[in-house]
Amino acid sequence: MPERLNNFPPLPAILPVKPCFYQNVEEEIPAQHQQLVRRVYNLWILYSVTLCVNVVSCVAWWAGGGSGVNFGLALLWLLLFSPCSYICWFRPLYKAFRADSSFNFMVFFYVFFLQCVLVVIQAVGISGWGASGWVATILFFSDNVGSAVVMLLSALLFTAVAVLMGLVFIKVSHEPQGTERKKRQCRPLKLNLLKPAFSALLLHISIPVFFFFFIGVLL
């Protein structure tokens, strides 16, 4: 059997850096799951494009009188989240369907849930967080309409990505995997793996809430 060469990400042959992964949906993924895997891959591409648009929106935000911190963070999120989202939730899902792996399904659900929470925060758009979302866009209309219109595109894309990620989360959780025995084992696993994710989310929410409440009491 000939050795398979890594083909993703597709890079020019003249570069010294070579592709890191082998990806072939038609060859490695069972036929009943191929459409879903392609859709999740397209969702990853859409999220990466959204991060690129967010950088442009933050440039317009900065040019219109906003803080340059947002541009710096937006660029950081693009360089960090584009490759990390592929490695941390698309690849686990790909390997889960390829090998019917409960462990990779667990990794996907846990990381993808946190990714969904992050995208919702980006869609909200808190100033100083490097995300041109709804709050930042609406408030900036009173300062610079032209910049706010550019920022609006980023807010719309973040919202679309958040909705699609929610639909993918539901779709994958209902997707049949493997034999009946494995499916019975995976159902409680999918429910139990959400518990630490919800706990982490509540912890991150409660800490700033109690902090600001304490500061309010002191003042």
Question: Is pLDDT of 45 > 90?
Answer: yes
The model's confidence at residue 110, banded by pLDDT at 50, 70 and 90, is very high
Q: Is the pLDDT of residue 69 over 90?
A: yes
Cβ distance 9 to 19 under 8 Å?
A: yes
Reduced to 3 states (helix: H, G, I; strand: E, B; else coil), residue 15 is coil
Neighbour tally for 153: CB within 10 Å: 17
pLDDT tens readout for residues 125-154: 998 899 999 999 999 999 899 999 999 999
Q: What is the pLDDT of residues 150-189, one digit of tens each?
A: 999 999 999 999 999 999 999 999 887 654 335 445 445 4
CA-CA distance, 72 to 63, in Å (whole number)? 13
Q: Which helix (H) or strand (E) holds 35?
A: helix 34-63
Is the model more confident about 110 or about 14?
Answer: 110
Which amino acid is located at 213 in the chain?
Answer: F
pTM of the model: 0.80
Do the Cβ atoms of 158 and 168 come closer than 8 Å?
no
Band of residue 105 on the pLDDT scale cut at 50, 70, 90: very high
DSSP assignment of 123-176 = HH--TTSS---HHHHHHHTTT-HHHHHHHHHHHHHHHHHHHHHHHHHHHHHTS-
